[in-house]
Structure 1
């Protein structure tokens, strides 16, 4: 870690002790790292005596609502929250690199006079925060928060550990992705010592599918097609598929990982047809990267995991466009 990043970590850690009234937020369609980081920070600030509210730009997935404090999170409404946003002294923005990922909540935050603290592990961040900690080598935002929050957690240590562990577990695909290092496991061991239960976390997050979601997975697997001598695998889910199996886009989160389970595949894409847009999830491994591919469709993310939303074209055309664009990244 270079000296500038180390200084940013220290500034964020120290800044927590001065927070009196605060809101915490994270990106639209929050995943485990987003929810875990928001709740862990909420518990820590409450332990420090601050008045704090978690405001999400969209609801959290059902399989994240078991975490302690999840029922206290609120979903943004201008009438309910704009006055609060403009009255707090601090706004903590987690697991995102641009206020655009907050949807309409981003504009309200941008107009607030509060100090903004941004903690994130994505590349190419916008400069929107007074304190910005961006560690692209971190496995997850929850990974970054271990040294920032634990010194202040106090009586909230168990709740903080549970939330941080869950965020790290989900963002590493169950400790399978490339940034799963020995150092990460040592930090995770600290969280287990602090009260995180790996068995329960895995059970709550990954083993609570209903029968319709399981059948939806079967349908999605039948759609798999490979291209470019088996190096690219594409999964397609239509609006009718979702309707037939009574599933939402949240229910198919994570299905994209199945595209990389086929021998020889270097890049996997899940393409989901929604009302008015096409959602694309990109995954890769080895020396194949997907961040720039996602960026070419107006999205972004990490080198091995990224996403984009395509508007103005139908599903079939979107599939053709993605398959064609992927070729250059498979060379």
Structure 2
């Protein structure tokens, strides 16, 4: 439900806001945070963006100052969150995905707002704005500002554009509606250089990242009679290529470049478990598959984090379930 009047009333009556998003934020998460924060600041509100994770390097070109997005520190930020008038959670449907911020948010007396476009939302907020038909949370932020009759300038248009660009797969996913293109066109009118943005987001990888991609591609394995495939990256792969977790961003999509593959999975070994990312180009809803393991996401893109389990066991278990699951749809 998208209750603009209740949201605007909450904004009007309160002064201090904390904005956050999910662990390992993507372009939609960071872009939406920056756009909303800059809007609130422009109308006289006190705003702090506080996240569990660092902002990925490929998204830092949108940040204006070093302290515009802060990384959560329990000693310095817990009280900020518990004493805020409003806490806004963006681009997630389960509060646990805020990581270390979950506890202070839950105990905070602040009015809690959630703005998100994923299915199966958990009920943890006072004001819920969910719309699974939207291309991105960035599109929802645009709608909010439009409803407020706020004139969007370059400083706000850029992060909204990046949010939409990244969560639509550069405008190729199913929820890239005619409206999304009209929004993008309006944002471009503010002076956004599309070539420069694309290069910042997609073409600034290091040589080490390319070496890591080579390892991931060499692990590619087909299963389910060629209708599915998976790749993996281990902790040793990271160490030996001098790379970090954010360097695997987008690796899962290489599965879907293979003819005949309808579902792709990317396994990433964590220090305490495994992260699995699912992608689909068919009628297989991978968000429901991810939900079987405690995760979630969208019809065509989903994920899950498994703790306390080694990589090979996770792969065997998920491949077995995926084969059974795919057979129901293909």
2:259 is aligned with 1:263? yes
In the TM superposition, what is the alpha-carbon distance from 1:229 to its structure 2 partner? 1.4
- CA drift of 1:272 comes to 1.3
Tell me what 2:300 maps to: 304
Deviating above 6 A after TM superposition, structure 1's stretches of 4 or more consecutive aligned residues are none
- Counterparts of 2:138 and 2:222, CA distance in 1: 34
Deviation, structure 1 residue 196: 3.0
Q: 2:296 aligned with 1:324, yes or no?
A: no
Looking at structure 2, the residues matched to 163 and 26 of structure 1 have their Cα atoms a distance apart, in angstroms, of 15
SS of the equivalent of 1:146 reads helix
Aligned equivalent of 1:185? 181
Q: Give the TM-score taking structure 2 as reference length.
A: 0.94
2:232 aligned with 1:224, yes or no?
no
- Counterparts of 2:315 and 2:240, CA distance in 1: 21
Q: Does 1:53 align with 2:48?
A: yes
Counterpart Cα distance in 1 of 2:88 and 2:232: 36
- 1:100, distance to aligned residue in structure 2 (A): 0.8
**Between 252-261 and 195-204, the greater mean CA deviation after superposition:** 195-204
Shift of 1:330: 1.5
Contact 1:289 1:329 in 2 (8 A): no
State the secondary structure of the residue aligned to 2:222.
strand
SS in 1 for 2:105: helix
Q: Distance in 2 between matches of 1:83 and 1:131?
A: 22
- After TM superposition, give the deviation of residue 16 of structure 1 in Å: 3.1
User: Could you tell me which residue of structure 2 aligns to residue 16 of structure 1?
Assistant: 11
Conservation of the 8 A alpha-carbon contact between 1:12 and 1:148: no
Counterpart for residue 157 of structure 2:
161
Number of aligned residues? 326
Counterpart CA distance in 1 for 2:132 and 2:15 is 29
SS in 1 for 2:180: helix
Displacement of 1:14: 4.8
- By how many angstroms is 1:134 displaced? 0.1
Q: Does 1:114 find its partner at 2:113?
A: no
Structure 2: gaps of 5 or more residues: none
SS where residue 20 of structure 2 aligns? strand
What is the Cα deviation at residue 46 of structure 1?
Answer: 0.7
Tell me whether 1:78 sits opposite 2:84 in the alignment: no
Separation in structure 2 between the aligned mates of residue 236 and residue 83 of structure 1, nearest angstrom? 39
Give the equivalent residue in structure 2 for 1:274.
270
Query: CA–CA distance in 1 between the matches of 2:36 and 2:228?
Result: 39
Tell me by how many angstroms 1:215 deviates. 1.3
For 2:94 and 2:221, locate their aligned partners in 1 and report how far apart those are by CA, in whole Å.
Answer: 34
C-alpha distance in 2 between matches for 1:155 and 1:137: 25
User: Quick one: distance in 2 between partners of 1:188 and 1:69?
Assistant: 22
TM-score by length of 1: 0.94
| Superimposed CA distance per residue, residues 269-290 of structure 1 (whole angstroms, 9 cap, x where no aligned partner) | 0011221201101000121121
Residue 35 of structure 2 is aligned to residue 40 of structure 1: yes
* 2:59 is aligned with 1:64: yes
| Inter-partner Cα distance in structure 1 for 2:201 and 2:132 | 25
Go from structure 1 to structure 2 and tell me whether the alpha carbon gap of 1:183 and 1:155 turns closer, same or farther (over 3 Å shift): closer
- Alpha-carbon distance between aligned partners in 2 of 1:330 and 1:219, rounded to the nearest angstrom: 27
Contact 2:4 2:147 in 1 (8 A): no
Deviation at 1:43, TM superposition (A): 0.5
